[in-house]
Structure 1
Amino acid sequence: MRFASVRTAAGASWGVVANGAVHPIDAATAEAFPTLKHAIAAAALKAVHDRHESWDAIPVDEVEWAPLIPEPGKILCVGLNYEKHREETARPVVAHPTIFTRFADSQTGHRQPIVRPIVSEKLDYEGELALVIGKRGRAIAARDALDHIAGFSCYNDGSVRDWQHHTMQFTPGKNFPGTGAFGPWLVTPDEFGDIPSKRIRTRLNGEVMQDAHFSELIFGLDRLIEYVSAFTPLEPGDVIVTGTPGGVGAKRKPPVFMKPGDHVEVEIEGIGVLRNGIADELAP
């Protein structure tokens, strides 16, 4: 099953993705579950999916996409979670995941621009697998962790590198408005299938810049959920962005940064392609 958050003439909505179209929810469903996050929390995705065939259908190339979860309580991002990326950054081997946060209002949707801020020209791509929490938990054991996942999507954790490296803390460079692309849709675990075998690739203007399999993750999804839930409760709709492979623009020689007019794609087998253009921030 696949679900997406969209914008329609009536405002923010969400719906089922099937047969090349998005089926926005009807009025009765919207009253019960105003957002995708509400439906996840109520464990109602299958019930909603079972009713979608009677709803309107908008072809996917005509949809205005919103960030998959526009209002997550938490976005927890993982740094340095592929060995090639750790090596290219010259960071030491660590025993625990590197966790930082992204704010909900820094996100953008599929086919919406990723925004290069006025204060920097060092906007970098980071293609990643995102997981969305489906069931509340605290101190979740690794053996139970995958049962807490509602589904998966693509994420481009756009990074403003000079601001990221002002200090040892990543937060400023990861939270400029419109830099975190999330989508296009949620794929439920039963459809996504075997995680380690899946491949992720990031392309900039058609050139492959990152290419890896999820078997290369240093800390697997079960370990990430176990670790994060040890220090904070995980709630339905929370997002964990699981790390980027090697090949980031900042570590290339010469460096490659995204600029207005560029197009970036994050493709994950079993999900699809998250596409975004790059635009400059408008002056305040």
Structure 2
Amino acid sequence: MRLVTYERAGVVAPGALLPGGDVLDLAEVLDDGGAPARDHDLTALLAAGALPRARALVEAAEAALAAGVAAGAGSVGAVHPIAEVRLLAPVRPGKLLCIGYNYRGHEADGQVADPEFPDVFVKTANTVVGPQDAVVVPRASGNVDYEAEVGIVVGSRCHEVDEAEALDHVAGYTIVNDVSARDWQGRTSQWALGKSFDTFAPLGPALVTTDEVGDPHALEVTLRHNGRLTVSSSTARMVFSMAFLVSYLSQVMTLEPGDVIATGTPQKLPEALAAPAPMRPGDVVEITVSRLGTLRTAVVAPSHPDPSGAARAGRPR
């Protein structure tokens, strides 16, 4: 399944992308015996353990549509044309945990051997935006960069889970652009400020469930900056596996439904490293991961005025 959170007519709900591209409403899986729950996102669906019911609805809708039943018919459920909805971040993670230097060929300065342990940092909640939102380049930074990452989406609570069982707690995967202000990142040994400007974590376009993804270590990862290919690699080059990362982090903290683990970025291609090009207003960054889709993000200038009359970085809805 390709699961989303969407907004339509001011109401937020979980949904599923159907083969034709329309969105099947999944609010009824959160029905508590009354009307379907509204203003709940995909995180609420995961927390309720409602993935099996969602799957049943999606399979029924796909079968009905294949048989020629009109979209929106009672047997199909509410189906909305993709043009009539706004896709939000698939989940609103309580924790957005990130891994540095997790691809061979993308090592810390002077390091050539695989690290013994993952390099873990966090991005704060204000960074998360959806696949139709823009990244705002703040005036405070002159070196804003992109990173193409596969995000693990936790599906069920786990703590101190064994590596062999870790992926049982994963709902699926999404794409993360770990936007980074390199100048702020380099100011201290802690990366949090450089990673946590508003809008610095586009997610999406969907959560693709584990059964549809298959082997998460056989995914091609590419990034194009204004059409120029700057990243091209495979998750097969990861140092620490998806299962290891879930297990390792769960030794420290309880992982909750909707939490996201951004699994690191591959190194840029040599020609991109030789001619660095920070993100500027007007740019477009497209991250494509096989079986997950493409996360396309526009880059914009700050828009909100401050008391001095200059524009202050604002966050798009």
TM-score, length-normalised on structure 1? 0.92
Q: In structure 2, what residue type is equivalent to 1:115?
A: V
The Cα shift of 1:63 comes to 3.2
**What CA deviation, in whole Å up to 9, does each residue of 1:131-179 have, x standing for no partner?**
1111211111111111110010111011111011111111001110011
Counterparts of 2:165 and 2:11, CA distance in 1 = 37
1:248/1:172 CA distance change after superposition, 3 Å = farther
Of stretches 23-32 and 169-178 in structure 1, the one that deviates more from structure 2 is: 23-32
Q: How big is each residue's C-alpha offset from its partner over 1:206-230, in whole Å with a ceiling of 9 and x where there is no partner?
A: 1111111111001111111111111
| Contact persistence 2:13–2:27 (CA under 8 A) | no
Pairing partner for 2:288 from 267, 271, 278: 267
Structure-2 residue corresponding to 1:67: 89
Unaligned runs of 5+ in 1: none
Q: Is the 8 A contact 2:11 2:38 kept in 1?
A: no
Identity of aligned residues (%): 33
Deviation, structure 1 residue 57: 2.6
Specify whether residues 62 and 219 from structure 1 end up closer, same or farther in structure 2 by C-alpha distance, changes over 3 A only.
same
What is the aligned counterpart of 1:123 among 124, 141, 144? 144
1:4 alignment partner in structure 2: 4
Relative to structure 1, the CA distance from residue 55 to residue 104 in structure 2 (aligned partners, 3 Å threshold; closer, same or farther) is farther
Any conservation in 1 of the 2:121–2:191 contact (CA below 8 Å)? yes
Once the two structures are superposed, the pairs formed by residues 9-88 of structure 1 within 5 Å of their partners are: 9-19=9-19, 20-26=21-27, 29=31, 30-31=36-37, 34-51=40-57, 53=61, 54-70=76-92, 72-86=93-107
Deviation at 1:33, TM superposition (A): 8.7
Structure showing greater relative contact order (alpha-carbon pairs closer than 8 Å, 6 or more residues apart): 1
Gaps of 5+ in 2: 62-75, 304-310, 313-317
Distance 1:181 1:91 in 2: 29
Measured after TM superposition, the shift of residue 130 of structure 1 is 0.3
Distance in structure 2 (CA, Å) of the matches to 1:205 and 1:56: 37
For the 8 Å contact 1:85–1:246, the answer to whether it is kept is yes
Secondary structure of the 2:265 match is coil
Match of 2:183 in 1: 162
Return the offset for 1:183: 0.2
Alignment correspondent of 1:280: 301
Superposition RMSD in Å: 2.1
Report the Cα offset of residue 252 of structure 1: 1.8
Offset at 1:60?
3.2
- 1:196-255 Cα deviation digits (max 9, x unpaired): 221111111111111111110011111111111111111111110000000189x82232
Letter in 1 for 2:176: Y
Contact map agreement 1:26 1:55 (CA 8 A) in 2 = no
- Measure, in 1, the Cα distance between the counterparts of 2:253 and 2:27: 35
**Displacement after TM superposition at 1:273 (Å):** 0.5
How big is each residue's C-alpha offset from its partner over 1:28-65, in whole Å with a ceiling of 9 and x where there is no partner? 74428922112112221231243353333333355312
1:227-246 matches, within 5 Å, as 227-246=248-267
Partners of 1:231 and 1:248 in 2: how far apart? 34
* Structure having the higher Rg: 2
Q: Secondary structure at the match of 2:7?
A: strand
1:114 aligns to 2:114 (yes or no): no
**C-alpha spacing 1:152/1:114, structure 2 compared with 1 (3 Å):** same
Partner Cα distance (1:124, 1:76) in 2: 18
TM-score, normalised via structure 2 length: 0.83
